[in-house]
Structure 1
Amino acid sequence: ACVRNCRCDSRNNVYCIENSWTFVPYGIPVETRSLNMYRNNITNGPTTNANLERLINLKKLDMHQNDLKSFPIGLPNSLELIYFQKNDIKYIGRNSLHGLSNLNELHLDENNITNKGLSSVAFKDATRLMELVLTNNLLTAVPEGLPVSLRVLRLDNNLVQRVTVSALQPLTRLIRLDLSGNSIIQNFVEPSAFLGLHRLRTLDVSANRLTQIPKGLPDNLDELLLSKNSIEFVYSTSSDDGSPTAHGSLSGLTMLTKLDLSSNKLQSVEYGAFDGQQRLRTCELQNNPWQCDCYLTYLKRWLSSTTTTLSSERNTRCSTPQAFSGVTL
């Protein structure tokens, strides 16, 4: 029999949604494979922990939009998908994910997770985790101790300022990394922080506080998204001298098919800055204060000879000198 005020179907899916539950009830069938208890008022407690722990066949647990303050302990080892977004989770301890070796996706977006509230060994048992979503939390740095199995890591719309080698270096299987909408500062990105990500295809660091293209980007990148930063110039080669003016470039990134440099502070590019971009299909250069003088001749020639599509071409215009203001590049 199904729990009162819940719905069970023949595929062992249970739905106890939008019923003001404050705990996970007793009596959910042990054969349940998908438990959906979203949009309730469930809080942490021994009743919730005990009634979840007994569901030894559970594959999917959806408890988004509840009132959890910490990651529930004792979850069944069978779980593959967990949705805890839109709660009030502040704490994920060292044993919170104990035994969850089958977990494939974990969604923790729109909580109140900080670096201090996230144990550096919290993910030690999550050896098969491939997608981790921490969007819209309160993280100030890329967390340490994330599982090496990750393919997708979303840290967008946090408070991240710092990107370290020690946090990213183990994530050699990562394919997509989203750091957009943070406060990443150029000098707080450690040299070669991204370099070990040999399988990375998409890097999104748009809407941050970068003043240069980051140094040491992996050469296998397919998409590099840098819009809404404060980049003023694109160099033809990288500078690795460790000085405050050290910078990155597009040199070596010959696999790129999409490049977004829109809405920065770009005025010019160095001669040869886009050489080697034979695979580039889409390039976003609009909404920049381009200075259309003789130093921009290289870029104009490259744009006229490349097969790359220049998106929003009408908005890619000269800003200075005054005689050319508003003229399409």
Structure 2
Amino acid sequence: MRLSLLLLLLLLLPGPPPAPGMEDAAFPHLGESSQPPPRACPLRCSCPRADTVDCNGLDLQVFPDNITRAAQHLSLQNNQLQELPYNELSRLSSLRTLNLHNNLISSEGLPDEAFESLTQLQHIYVAHNKLSVAPQFLPRSLRVADLAANQVTEIFPLTFGEKPALRSVYLHNNQLSNAGLPPDAFHGSEAVVILSLSSNRLSYVPPSLPPSLERLHLQNNLISKVPRGALSRQIHLRELYLQHNQLTDSGLDATTFSKLHHLEYLDLSHNRLASVPAGLPRTLAVLHLGRNRIRGVEAARLRGARGLRYLLLQHNQLGATGLPAGALRPLRGLHTLHLYGNGLDRVPLALPRRLRALVLPHNHVTTLGARDLAGTPGLAELNLAYNRLVSARVHRRAFRPLRALRSLDLAGNLLTRLPGGLPGGLHTLRLQRNQLRALEPEPLAGLDQLRELSLAHNRLRVGDIGPGTWHELQALQVLDLGHNELSFVPPDLPEALEELHLQGNRISHVGPEAFLSTPRLRALFLRANRLHMTSIAPDAFLGLLHLSVVDTAGNPEQVLVRLPPTTPRQPWAGSPRARRSPAV
């Protein structure tokens, strides 16, 4: 009894006082954890860090409350917000990034006063909203501003002006005219390197653009003129995009581009120019003049642009005299020349000797002489597709000087036989859509590096393919004989063949010996022939362990296809192992 009373007294006596600073740990409140409480985060949003609030894609119609004042990065993109409450936004004075992309915010719903307290804001994204005018004031700390894809008609002096840290401004896909862009729109913002004003309603290049610009997008406007001196201060400009405008020769002068001493890329395509602009800078590497009205190219206009590497003149009005001999001679380093869709009747003479790619399809070229290509021995790609070449006018030595040639495209001409003297280093040869009636081994002799050969849409029959035709093509991997007049699979195909196109022929039977010479075959196309259910021999594909695609659609009957069994080392590419039995 005495022992029980003693224990009770000990339990009722107060214990020793807690150590300093440990009161809460020693005596936690009822129902509370000893851990610190979790950070507040708006309902349905996520807060992966103490300074980040992500409310992306929640279909919010109201600005979320309970956003911590410590937030530096706030994402509200892909919602349905129509306005931002001033009192909620202005208290977030620590914000550095504000993402409002893809909402329904109007100019009335974006109060200018709200930005006055956002003195640390560096990135603002308001693209794809319903702004009709830009905010009249944005913080001085701004670095990136994206107001693209709105309905903006007016910019104010302090929208982007007086922003010494501003680097990138995106205003494309709006409704800006020159009247809506004040002359001092970028005054005091001397660090802007990217400015996008494409797809607006500008009628001339705005003056007083930031002198620090390196990339300027003005495409898809109504620009018909570059005022004199409009680009004279942009000496750091590297890329200038003026395509899809209404520029004519009178809208440019000899000084328009002459002071752009760092310009590398100039796009003037889809305009109304009748000649190559004058005063091109020496630094220019890419000049895009496609889809204009250029009738002739003068060497004098290109002398300043001696560093040019890529010249694009497709879809102009260059006729028989449009590119006279030596017109491109000043461009000693020219790598690629695009002349697609003009009216040239022959390969231009005296092309730059270092030219690597000549793209000349859809012209009127009828003849290739023995010396026409001798001045460009370094050509690696030659495209003469869809011209008017006939075999009788292609000299047997026309291609012989092109020892570096790797790709030759002669599709869509009027050739009745393979050209002779083809370079031995060819990798790709395209001869589809001609009038070839026969194949002989001689023109293909020595093409032991050829990997792809297209002979589709000709008039070839198996009996017109001479014995030994495929013997030299030991590296051939892709052969297209589609849409000819073949009645069966040609014999003795190259051993390296991996892809064989035979669609659109007259093949009615595939025998067991058809693919004995092509053990590496992976894909076979036999659609739209004359095959019936049992036209393919049961053992036709025996030994083709790599075969994974056999296309027999579009034949008179559904065709029974027996693919070879798989082995652990050679599974079918893209085919489930369960389909080892005959497949239809």
| Band the TM-score falls in, shorter-chain normalisation | 0.7 to 0.9
Match of 1:199 in 2: 333
- TM norm structure 2: 0.50
Q: Which has the higher contact order (CA 8 A, sep 6+)?
A: 1
SS of alignment partner, residue 166 of structure 1: helix
Cα contact 1:286–1:315 (8 A) shared by 2: no
Q: SS where residue 45 of structure 1 aligns?
A: helix
* 1:16 paired to 2:147: yes
Alignment of 1:53-72 (within 5 A): 53-72=187-206
In structure 2, the partner of 1:223 is 357
SS of 2:204's equivalent?
coil
Are 1:180 and 2:314 matched, yes or no? yes
Partner Cα separation in structure 1 for residue 411 and residue 452 of structure 2: 8
Deviation track 1:60-96 (CA, whole Å, cap 9, x = no partner) reads 0001100010011111110000000100000012211
Alignment deviations for residues 130-166 of structure 1 (CA, whole Å, 9 cap, x no partner): 1000111111111121222100000111111111111
1:260 to 374, 383, 387: 383
Query: Matches of 2:453 and 2:247 in 1, distance apart?
Result: 37
**Residues 228 and 197 of structure 1, relative CA distance in 2, 3 Å threshold:** same
Whether the 8 Å CA contact 2:397–2:420 is kept in 1: the answer is no
Larger radius of gyration: 2
Q: Relative to 1, partners in 2 of residues 1:315 and 1:158: Cα closer, same or farther, differing over 3 Å?
A: farther
Query: Does structure 1 residue 97 correspond to structure 2 residue 231?
Result: yes
SS in 1 for 2:178: coil
Q: CA deviation at 1:277?
A: 1.6
Shift of 1:123: 1.3
Q: Which residue of 2 aligns with 1:305?
A: 446
Q: Using a 3 Å threshold, how does the CA distance of structure 1 residues 151 and 136 change in structure 2: closer, same or farther?
A: same
Pick the aligned partner of 1:37 from 162, 171, 175: 171
SS in 1 for 2:249: coil
Q: Hey, what does 2:286 align to over in structure 1?
A: 152
SS in 1 for 2:186: helix
- Report if aligned partners of 2:400, 2:421 keep a CA contact under 8 Å in 1: no
Contact 1:43–1:68 (Cα < 8 Å) also in 2: yes
Q: Are the equivalent residues in 2 in contact too, given 1:284–1:310 (CA < 8 A)?
A: no
Partners of 1:5 and 1:165 lie apart in 2 by 57
Q: Which is further off, 88-97 or 37-46?
A: 37-46
Which sections of structure 1, spanning at least 5 residues, go unmatched? Answer: 238-248
Q: Which runs of 5+ in 2 are unaligned?
A: 1-92, 99-106, 113-120, 125-141, 423-439, 466-483, 487-584
- Does 1:139 find its partner at 2:280? no
Counterpart residue type for residue 145 of structure 2: V
Residues 78 and 184 (structure 1 numbering): CA distance in 2 closer, same or farther, change over 3 Å?
same
Sort the Cα spacing of 1:8 and 1:69 in 2 relative to 1 into closer, same or farther, 3 A. farther
Partner residue, 1:289 = 414
How far off is 1:271 after superposition? 2.4
SS of the residue 1:142 aligns to: coil
Q: Is the 8 A contact 1:165 1:190 kept in 2?
A: no
Asked if the contact 1:289/1:318 (under 8 Å) is kept, the reply is: no
Equivalent residue for 2:295, pick from 153, 161, 165: 161
Asked if 2 retains the 8 angstrom alpha-carbon contact of 1:208 and 1:228, the reply is yes
Equivalent in the alignment of 2:258? 124
CA distance 1:270–1:52, change in 2 (3 Å)? same
Q: Is the 8 A contact 1:291 1:318 kept in 2?
A: no
Residue among 386, 396, 399 paired with 1:271: 396
User: Cα offset for 1:98?
Assistant: 1.6
Deviation of 1:316 (Å): 7.3
Q: 1:327 to 1:233 in 2, by over 3 A?
A: farther
Aligned-pair identity (%): 26
Q: Does 1:280 align with 2:405?
A: yes
Among candidates 79, 91, 95, match of residue 213 of structure 2: 79
Q: Distance in 2 between matches of 1:5 and 1:190?
A: 62
Q: How does 1:306-325 map to 2 (within 5 A)?
A: 306=447, 309=450, 313-315=454-456, 317=458
Q: Mean Cα displacement is larger for which, 202-211 or 25-34?
A: 25-34
Q: Is contact 1:287-1:316 (8 Å) kept?
A: no
Please say if residues 322 and 344 of structure 2, whose CA atoms lie closer than 8 Å, have aligned partners that are also in contact: no
